[in-house]
Amino acid sequence: MSRTAQKRRPFGSTRKLPSGRVQARYACPTCKATHPGHITFERAKDADAWLATVRAAIVQERYACPAKQPAATDPDDRAAQPFAEYADAWLAARTLRERTRLLYRSILDRELVPAFGATPLEQITRAQVRQWHTALPADRPTGNAHAYALLRTILGAAVDAEVLDTNPATIKGAGQTKRSRHVEPATVPELDTIAAAMPEPYGLAVLLAGWCALRYGELVELRRRDVSNDGAVVRVRRTMNYRDGRLWIGPPKSVAGTRDVSVPPHLQPALVQHLEKRAQPGKDGLVFPSRRSVPVACPCGYSGCVGGHLMATTFHRWFVTARAAADRTDLRVHDLRHTGLTLAAHAGATLPDLMKRAGHSSVDAAQVYMHAASGRDAEIAARMSQLVGQ
């Protein structure tokens, strides 16, 4: 479909804009005019879904003609709409994972609405955006990048919808972060020392996270049915996240995150024994539950959840003590994942192997661990010299 091509359907139509986003339009049954959607979409199916909501509103007699609405919501005058109102409508129309929606809502409420909420879209200037960005705390570069990226995206949607002529968020590189912390992966002896210093039975959790490169949320959401009977494979199908005082169970971080991970043979007997003696009973029992003897009711809404998840704050407290035993006070819980992928790279894993094992959808993300293994070149050269004289 070309940039200007339109896709016809029984109700409404969609077209791809020069920006690459998709605009939905429909014929109003009240004024007979063609109205575009108040926002644009990344995918055609999202535009189709929006048209379906308009059609449902018409059938259920809940529809209000945009031409009959106050001037501030008229398509020609939306540039005068306050940023907060436009951002709310933009967020409501997006198809997002609940975790992402909560993150965007938090950024809006904490960062963007206080700065731009009452300002009409057309009055937001490059100077205002730059002044706001300059005033952000310097000690949280990742949070600042996320806030700026969301502002740029929302204002970019206004440009795509022809509400604004240009996007005032034009600070080069402000929406990106660079890794400022060098992660030194744990060695095998250090990993064993940390695991031995953890309370029982959570030493195995450290080893499984380290050797299988599992994210913490993936680790604590593992259930009996996610582990093969012989302990050779763990199937990552869900992750646990705790946000805004509520427990969330959902799919992994990306489509690639849904994966089967082979467990190194030296860990398999311990994992089988753990399932027999330590995991919660039943196929939906958690592999690494909280120490609470009685599972609590879980508010996450997942039908298979029996509660008793091990909270990250508790695990982190134990981990801080355990890492000191290995003299690795710099190591974070998430660095266990880095350790596992570096070990896999040293073992000869190719780039596709690492992407599959880690659940990465990006080559760049997996490439980090290939670089970590590049130091083996000197070792290989030394071994080659041993061939002389044989």
| pLDDT category of residue 252 using cuts at 50, 70 and 90 | confident
Q: Which of 9-13, 145-149, 154-158, 316-320 shows the lowest per-residue confidence on average (mean pLDDT)?
A: 9-13
Report pLDDT digits (tens) over 87-127.
Answer: 998 988 887 777 788 889 889 998 899 999 889 998 999 99
Say if residue 152's pLDDT is above 70: yes
Let me know: does 17 contact 23? Beta carbons within 8 Å. yes
- Between the ranges 61-65, 105-109, 193-197, 257-261, where is the mean pLDDT highest? 193-197
Report pLDDT digits (tens) over 221-231.
Answer: 999 999 999 99
Tokens of 313: 């704050």
Distance CA 221, CA 227 (A): 12
Residue 126 CA from chain centroid, whole number: 29
pLDDT at 150: 94
Say if residue 132's pLDDT is above 90: yes
Distance CA 357, CA 354 (A): 5
The pTM (predicted TM-score) of the whole model is 0.60
pLDDT at 4: 42
Give the active site residues. 215, 334, 337, 360, 369
Q: Average model confidence (pLDDT) for the chain? A: 81
- Helix axis angle, 351-358 to 335-346, nearest 10°: 150
Percent of the chain having pLDDT more than 90? 33
Distance CA 291, CA 289 (A): 6
Report pLDDT digits (tens) over 154-205.
Answer: 999 999 888 888 999 998 888 776 655 677 889 999 999 999 999 988 999 9
pLDDT at 71: 44
Let me know: does 234 contact 263? Beta carbons within 8 Å. yes
* Segment (H or E) for 116: helix 113-116
Distance CA 204, CA 188 (A): 14
Q: Which of 238-242, 308-312, 373-377 shows the lowest per-residue confidence on average (mean pLDDT)?
A: 373-377
Three-state secondary structure string covering 313-381: HHHHHHHHHHHHHCCCCCCCCCHHHHHHHHHHHHCCCCHHHHHHHHCCCCHHHHHHHHHHCCCHHHHHH
